[in-house]
Amino acid sequence: MDDVDLDLRERLPGDLPKLFPDGGAERTLSVPLPPGDVVWPDPGYPQRQFIRAPALWVSDDPVPGELWGRVRAEHARSGLWPVLLDESDQPWAAGQIAPEPVAEIGNYEPAAFMYEVWSDFAEQAGPDDFHDLEPFGRHCPGPAAAGTPLDDPDAAADRHARALAARGLSLGLVAVERGADVLAAIGWQGALNHNEWTAPLAAVVRGWEERFGARVVGLGFNTLELSVAAPPVTTRHAVQVAAEHWAFCPDILFQGPGSLAGYAEEIRGKTWWSFWWD
């Protein structure tokens, strides 16, 4: 009887089973959660494909970073990926989200996305605009080689979560198999001015998970925070990674150091990547 009671206690609490199509069958979570609730997309908010299910669970109040790590450690059993959420503009609580089917992410290739962004820029840019993209100029270099691990990806993610949580962020839980898929699953709209669809961006982050040990740790209205276990450590490698970052989020260059070389020095050896879009 004790084993049965323990099993019942560990099953997904509250409304969390609603995040799964099968009701969370066989999913368990032993980590006590603070008060919170599931978030449904607002039917009045522009949707590309309205999904009639809650997109995520969000805590009522900020949480310590240690809680993020404890939930992350149970992802394989719970199916829930944690993400620290900046509620300053209230996109989550207000349901201002447009979920996309996670299955769509697999239809996009990160390299193709990068080449398309580069090509579109090349068609519209003037002769002097390519100086910022030296040494590549109008010729897209394609994705960079994988980095060499400096740390365990989970340990790097837990460490970055502790740092981010000091900002007073809420905890979000999303029913996905990997962190990159959070972007599409919750209908994050932060990069809407750069790319109409979120699934291609999630595909890029999947590639970074595999090549650089990146993990999605935090999201804001128009921001994304990743931990990185295998960052570029040489200038040459960092410049090519910087080119990927530019295609993913042009604002980090044009509103930052202004050149790939300058931005490359900012990310060389850095174990977290921060992105923002206007």
Considering the domain boundaries, does residue 266 fall inside one?
yes
Partner residues linked to 224 by β-bridges: 219, 275
Alpha carbons 182 and 163: distance in angstroms, whole number: 20
Residue 22 lies inside a defined structural domain of this protein: no
Q: Is residue 187 part of a domain?
A: yes
Is residue 208, in this structure, part of any structural domain at all? yes
Task: Give the model confidence (pLDDT) of 240-278 as tens digits.
Answer: 999 999 999 999 887 888 899 999 999 999 999 999 998
Query: Domain of 259?
Result: 36-107+143-276
Pairing between strand 215-219 and 80-85? parallel
Domain membership of residue 80 (yes or no) is yes
Contact partners, residue 100, CB within 8 Å, separation at least 6: 48, 49, 184, 185, 187, 197, 198, 199
Helix, strand, or coil (residue 147): coil
14 found inside a domain: no
SS3 of residue 151 by DSSP:
coil
Q: Residues 6 or more apart from 274 whose CB is under 8 A from it?
A: 223, 224, 225, 226, 252
Structure tokens at 55: 């997109």
80 strand-pairing partners: 175
pTM of the model: 0.93
Give the number of domains in the chain. 1
pLDDT in tens, 131-167: 889 999 889 999 999 999 999 999 999 999 999 999 9
Q: Establish if 17 belongs to a structural domain.
A: no
CA atoms within 13 A on the CB side of 42: 11
Q: Is residue 247 one of the residues assigned to a domain?
A: yes
User: Consecutive 10-residue runs of the chain (278 residues): their mean pLDDT?
Assistant: 47 94 93 95 74 89 97 98 84 83 95 95 81 89 97 98 96 98 93 88 98 97 96 98 96 86 96 94
CB 152 within 8 A of CB 229: yes
